[in-house]
């Protein structure tokens, strides 16, 4: 299974040793994300470190470990699909158009997100955490 990773699921995995982290580190799923996600982590790093209750060094080690499981797609590859994604997400959440554009750009099985607004589009399947837990047989 190959899924586009939304920032909110990545942030959840960075903040707590949670189901989100177990899913991201599960070898049965390949995650892809736009390079934009790296900028989001950088912009929110202080807040993420604080919420995680890790030292900055521990956080950096965790970050590196998690990103070994994520394929980063450069914005140049996504750009040809961005206009269409922006149009679809215009009245939903334009800031998340980059994730939809990535899902149009690269073969995948959908987007993993906790944002319910993604369900307002019908182009790409939206995966919720509970669904992935069931597919991966992680239990609750």
Segment 48-59, tens digit of pLDDT: 999 999 999 999
Chain position carrying tokens 């992680």: 138
2 — phi, psi (to 5°)? -125, 120
Q: Which residues contact 59 (CB under 8 A, 6 or more apart)?
A: 14, 45, 48, 49, 52
Q: Tell me 128's DSSP state.
A: -
Do the domain assignments include residue 92?
Answer: no
Which residues form the domain of 42?
2-74+108-133
Predicted TM-score (pTM) of the model is 0.90
Model pLDDT, residue 140: 55
Do the domain assignments include residue 53?
Answer: yes
Model pLDDT, residue 139: 67
Model pLDDT, residue 85: 92
Work out how many domains the chain is built from and give that number: 1
| pLDDT one digit per residue (tens) for the chain, 140 residues | 999 999 999 999 999 999 999 999 999 999 999 999 999 999 999 999 999 999 999 999 999 999 998 999 999 999 999 999 999 888 888 788 999 999 999 999 999 999 888 888 888 999 999 999 998 887 65
Do the domain assignments include residue 93?
Answer: no
Model pLDDT, residue 100: 93
Beta bridge partners of 32: 4, 71
């Amino acid at each position: 299974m190959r899924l586009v990773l939304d920032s909110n699921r990545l942030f959840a995995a960075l903040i707590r040793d949670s189901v989100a982290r177990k899913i991201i580190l599960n070898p049965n799923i390949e995650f892809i994300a736009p390079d934009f996600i790296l900028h989001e982590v950088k912009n929110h790093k202080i807040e993420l470190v604080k919420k995680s209750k890790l030292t900055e060094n521990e956080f950096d080690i965790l970050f590196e470990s998690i990103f070994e499981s994520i394929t980063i797609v450069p914005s140049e590859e996504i750009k040809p699909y961005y206009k269409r994604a922006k149009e679809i997400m215009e009245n939903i959440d334009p800031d998340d158009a980059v994730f939809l554009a990535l899902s149009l750009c690269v073969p995948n099985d959908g987007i993993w997100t906790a944002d319910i607004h993604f369900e307002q589009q019908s182009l790409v399947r939206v995966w919720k955490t509970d669904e992935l837990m069931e597919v991966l047989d992680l239990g609750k």
